[in-house]
Structure 1
Amino acid sequence: MVSDKDLVTDAATAEGGVIDIDEIVKKYDTEARYRSLKGWQAMLVSAIAVAMSVFHFYTAGFGLLDAAKQGAVHLSFTLVLVFLLYPVSSKSSKDRIPWYDVLFAIGAAYGCMYIVLNFEALGARSGLPTTMDLTMGFMTMALLLEATRRISNPVLPTLAVLSLLYCYFGRSMPSILAHRGFSIPRIVNHMYLGTEGIFGVPLGVSSTFVFMFILFGSVLEKTGMGRFIIDLSMALAGWSTGGPAKVAVLSSGLMGTISGSSVANVCTTGMFTIPLMKSVGYRPHFAGAVEAVASTGGQIMPPVMGAAAFIMAQMLGIPYIEVAIAAIVPALLYYGGVLVQVHLEATRLGLKGIPRDQLPPIWPLLRSQGFLLIPLVVIIYFLLAGYTPLKAAFNGIVVSYVLSFLNKQTMLTPKRLMEAFEAGARGAIGVACACATVGIVVGMATLTGLALRVAGTIIALSGGKLLSTLILAMCSSILLGTGLPTTANFIITSMMVAPSLLQLGVPALAAYMFVFYFGIAADLSPPVALAAYAGAGIAGSDPMKTGFTAFKLALAGFLVPYIYVYNPILLLIDYHPLPFAQAVATAVMGIFLLGMSTIGFYKAEMSVPFRALAMAGAFGLLIPGTKSDLFGLAVLITVHLWQTAKAKKARPTAGE
Structure 2
Amino acid sequence: VEAAASTGGEIAPPIMGAAAFILAQMANIPYATVAKSAIIPAILFFLGVYVAVDLESLRLRLTGLPREKLPRIGAVIKEGILFALPVLIVFYMIFVGYTPIKAGVYAFFATIAVCYLRKSTRLPLKNLVDSLIQSSCNLAPVAVSCGIAGIIIGVITLTGIGIKFTDLVIILSKGNLFLALLLSMVVAIILGMGMPPSAAYIIEAVLVAPALIKLGVQPLAAHFFIFYYTVMSAITPPVAVSAFAAAAISGSNPIKVGWVAVRLGLPGLIVPFVFVYAPEILLQTEFHFSAVFTIITAILGVVALAIGGAGFLKSHISWPMRVLFLASACLLIVPVIWVSIIGIALFAACLFYELAYKPQQKKLQPKNA
* TM-score in same-fold range (> 0.5): yes
1:364 corresponds to 2:90 = no
1:298 and 2:35 equivalent?
no
- Preserved CA contact (<8 Å) 2:27 2:219: yes
Q: Select which of 408, 411, 416 maps to 2:122.
A: 411
How many residues of Structure 1 are paired with residues of Structure 2 in the alignment?
A: 364
CA distance in 2, matches of 1:636, 1:590: 9
Deviation at 1:599, TM superposition (A): 1.1
Unaligned 5+ segments in structure 2 are none
Write the distance in 1 (CA, Å) between the matches of 2:296 and 2:53: 21
1:593 paired to 2:300? no
Task: Note if contact 2:184-2:208 (Cα within 8 Å) is conserved in structure 1.
Answer: yes
Task: Establish whether residue 466 from structure 1 lines up as the match of residue 177 from structure 2.
Answer: yes
CA distance in 1, matches of 2:169, 2:311: 36
Kept after mapping to 1: 8 A contact 2:332/2:344: yes
Given that 1:489 and 1:520 are in contact with CA atoms closer than 8 Å, whether structure 2 keeps it comes out as no
Task: Point out which structure has higher relative CO (alpha carbons under 8 A, 6+ apart).
Answer: 2
Candidates 572, 581, 598, aligned match of 2:283: 572
- 8 Å CA contact 2:209, 2:223 repeated in 1: yes
Matched, 1:343 2:54: yes
Q: 1:637 aligns with which of 348, 357, 366?
A: 348
* Superposed displacement of residue 313, structure 1: 0.8
Write the letter of the residue equivalent to 1:633.
Answer: I
Structure ID, larger Rg: 1
Alignment of 1:169-188 (within 5 A): none
Distance in structure 2 (CA, Å) of the matches to 1:523 and 1:481: 7
Tell me the TM-score normalised to structure 1 length.
Answer: 0.53
Gaps of 5+ in 1: 1-289
The structural deviation recorded for 1:651 is 6.0
Q: Which runs of 4+ in 1 moved over 3 A?
A: 412-417, 577-580, 646-652
Distance 2:155 2:323 in 1: 46
Letter of the 2:348 partner, please give it: I
Aligned residue type for 1:342: V
Among 221, 232, 242, which residue is 1:521 paired with?
Answer: 232
Letter in 2 for 1:505: G
Distance of aligned partners of 1:393 and 1:598 in 2 relative to their CA distance in 1, 3 Å threshold: same
Alignment RMSD: 2.0
Is 2:92 the counterpart of 1:384?
no
Any idea what the Cα deviations from partners look like across 1:572-600, whole Å, max 9, x if unmatched? 13231543332222111111111111111
- Bigger Cα displacement from structure 2, 508-517 vs 403-412: 403-412
Aligned with 1:551 (options 252, 258, 262)? 262
CA displacement, residues 427-465 of structure 1 (integer Å, 9 cap, x when unaligned): 222221112111110110111111111111011011001
CA apart distance, 1:369: 2.2
- Normalising by structure 2, what TM-score? 0.92
Cα offset, 1:495, TM superposition: 0.9
Whether the aligned pair in 2 keeps the contact of 1:590 and 1:617 (CA below 8 Å) is yes
Q: Out of 150, 153, 164, which is 1:453 matched to?
A: 164
2:142 is the alignment partner of 1:441? no
Q: Provide the secondary structure at the position in 1 that maps to 2:63.
A: coil
Q: Which moved more, 1:299-308 or 1:357-366?
A: 299-308
Alignment check: 8 A CA contact 1:604 1:647 kept: no
SS of aligned partner of 2:198: helix
Match in the other structure for 2:38: 327
Q: CA offset at residue 489 of structure 1?
A: 0.9
Corresponding residue to 2:212 among 484, 491, 501: 501
Is 1:373 the counterpart of 2:81 in the alignment? no
How big is the shift at 1:542?
Answer: 2.2
List aligned pairs for 1:123-162, cutoff 5 A.
none
CA distance, structure 2, for counterparts of residue 649 and residue 426 of structure 1: 57
Q: 1:374 to 1:348 in 2, by over 3 A?
A: same
1:327 and 1:336 map into 2 onto residues whose CA distance is 14
* 2:36 counterpart of 1:316: no
Q: Distance in 1 between matches of 2:167 and 2:191?
A: 17
Whichever residue aligns with residue 387 of structure 1, its letter is Y
Q: Which residue does the alignment assign to 1:421?
A: 132
Aligned-pair CA distance for 1:390: 1.7
Shift of 1:416: 4.1
- Tell me the CA shift for residue 552 of structure 1: 2.2
Letter in 2 for 1:294: A
Contact 1:603 / 1:647 at 8 angstroms: preserved in 2? no
> Contact between 1:369 and 1:407, CA under 8 Å: does it hold in 2?
no
1:173 alignment partner in structure 2: none
Aligned residue type for 2:107: G
DSSP-derived class of the 1:604 partner? coil
8 Å contact from structure 2 (residues 149, 202) kept in 1: yes
Among 622, 629, 634, the residue aligned to 2:333: 622
SS in 2 for 1:528: coil
Listed one character per residue, the Cα deviations across residues 64-100 of structure 1 (whole Å, up to 9, x for unaligned) are: xxxxxxxxxxxxxxxxxxxxxxxxxxxxxxxxxxxxx
> In the aligned structure 1, how far is the partner of 2:117 from the partner of 2:337?
53
d(CA) in 2 for partners of 1:360 and 1:649? Answer: 36
Q: Deviations over 1:135-161 (max 9, x none)?
A: xxxxxxxxxxxxxxxxxxxxxxxxxxx
C-alpha contact (below 8 Å) 2:145/2:199 kept by paired residues = yes
The residue type paired with residue 16 of structure 2 is M
AA partner of residue 491 (structure 1): I
8 Å contact from structure 1 (residues 301, 327) kept in 2: yes
Name the SS of the counterpart of 1:408 in structure 2.
Answer: coil
Q: Distance in 2 between matches of 1:434 and 1:529?
A: 18
- Mapped partners of 2:233, 2:96: distance in 1: 36
Relative to structure 1, the CA distance from residue 337 to residue 391 in structure 2 (aligned partners, 3 Å threshold; closer, same or farther) is same
Write the distance in 2 (CA, Å) between the matches of 1:400 and 1:541: 35
Q: Deviations over 1:33-69 (max 9, x none)?
A: xxxxxxxxxxxxxxxxxxxxxxxxxxxxxxxxxxxxx
Q: CA 1:546–1:424 in structure 2 vs 1: closer, same or farther (change >3 Å)?
A: closer
